[in-house]
Amino acid sequence: MDQKRPQLKARVDGNYGEFVLEPLTRGYGVTIGNPIRRILMSSIPGTAVTSVYIEDVLHEFSTIPGVKEDVIRLILNLKELVVKFHAPGPKTLTLRAQGEGEVKASAFEVPSDAEIVNPDLVIANLAEDGKLVMEVRIEEGEGYVPADKHATKDRINSIPVDAVFSPVRRVAYHVENTRVGQQTDLDRLILRVWTDGSVGPQDTLDKAVEILRSELNVFGNVETLPPAVMDMPQAVYTPAATSTPSSLGSSYGNLGAVNPNPYDLPRQPELSINPQPFPSDLESPRVTLEGLGLTTRVLHSLKEEGIDSVDALCALSDRDLKKVPGIGERSLDEIKQQLAQFGLALRD
């Protein structure tokens, strides 16, 4: 009996999307779900603040008279700013505020080809004599880029900001059993996606599938190379540990030398392959999430959010983990302690 072709059902509500793919051959739920989740978390392009200029501020460790927040707190608030581009290219947002009260993202002067998705975001709180003048640079990119990688000289005293460009806030998937008629050994893949609002969940999923398809296309264009062209490890001959009998002379080709014992033949050179050096990060033992020794409750909470490896866990910060349902201060301390036993830590 032919298996029914898989169908995708989607339910999108604002920044949240739930996608169900079924029926799948047993095992294909994880095979499909895991790479899509990883691409969604790491490779979807988006926008982020990359630098900020604040009037009369020379560096990020300054304070601003009349402003409750110091510059570091101000930058952290700006990193929560979500901007949607309607045209490519970096954008500059300008803010001028004075007098007592909250300063929200809606106070920015925004170019016509951009839009602030969260205008109610509080940027700063000013006192009666407070004044805040700043310019914020927004750029497009992918993944995480540290501040020193995109330091700009467009304006003197501008402060570079480390940027997380991904518009995807959270991704989780799980696989259930399903059936079609009498066939019960099938998978149902349920994928949940949360975005920041600059890109919809359906668009992020479409982009992830496009990226995955593009990467896999290389297997359909295999170029067969002759053996001489293929990049093979270099074979070298290593002399045997035992010395060659002096009666054989300085080389095996010296036919003038006579071996008194025809059965006492010299050892043949051993063929060995030069080992390829391992990356430095593989020199330490690898640890699985289960191997950290976390309690069952914490482990379950992490896996429910699609955090299924130590690498994925270490890529998160304290702030990220606190957003995971079921992870509070005690759970966070437990995670840090268990990671520290293996010389690991969360992202700063």
Between CA 169 and CA 317 the distance in angstroms is: 13
According to the model, what pLDDT value does residue 226 have? Answer: 66
According to the model, what pLDDT value does residue 237 have? Answer: 46
- 3-class SS of residue 230: coil
Strand partners, 195: 168
According to the model, what pLDDT value does residue 199 have? Answer: 94
Q: Which of 291, 297, 289 is nearest to 315 (CA)?
A: 289
According to the model, what pLDDT value does residue 323 have? Answer: 87
pLDDT in tens, the chain (348 residues): 456 789 999 999 999 999 999 999 999 999 999 999 999 999 999 999 999 999 988 888 888 999 999 999 999 999 999 999 999 999 999 999 999 999 999 999 999 999 999 999 999 999 999 999 999 999 999 999 998 887 665 677 889 999 999 999 999 999 999 988 888 889 999 999 999 999 999 999 999 999 999 999 888 777 666 665 555 555 554 454 444 444 444 444 444 444 444 444 455 555 444 444 444 343 334 678 888 888 888 888 888 888 888 888 888 888 888 888 889 988 998 898 888 888 888 887
According to the model, what pLDDT value does residue 286 have? Answer: 60
Strand ranges, E, within 14-166: 16-25, 46-54, 83-85, 91-98, 101-104, 114-116, 122-126, 131-141, 144-145, 159-160, 163-164
Instruction: Enter the DSSP assignment of 292.
Output: G
H or E stretch including 34?
helix 28-42
According to the model, what pLDDT value does residue 314 have? Answer: 87
According to the model, what pLDDT value does residue 347 have? Answer: 84
Domains and CATH numbers, the chain: 7-44+168-216 (3.30.1360.10), 46-164 (2.170.120.12), 286-340 (1.10.150.20)
Between CA 263 and CA 337 the distance in angstroms is: 65
According to the model, what pLDDT value does residue 3 have? Answer: 66
The total of other beta-carbon atoms located within 10 Å of residue 24's CB is 20
According to the model, what pLDDT value does residue 232 have? Answer: 52
**52 near 137, Cβ under 8 Å?**
yes
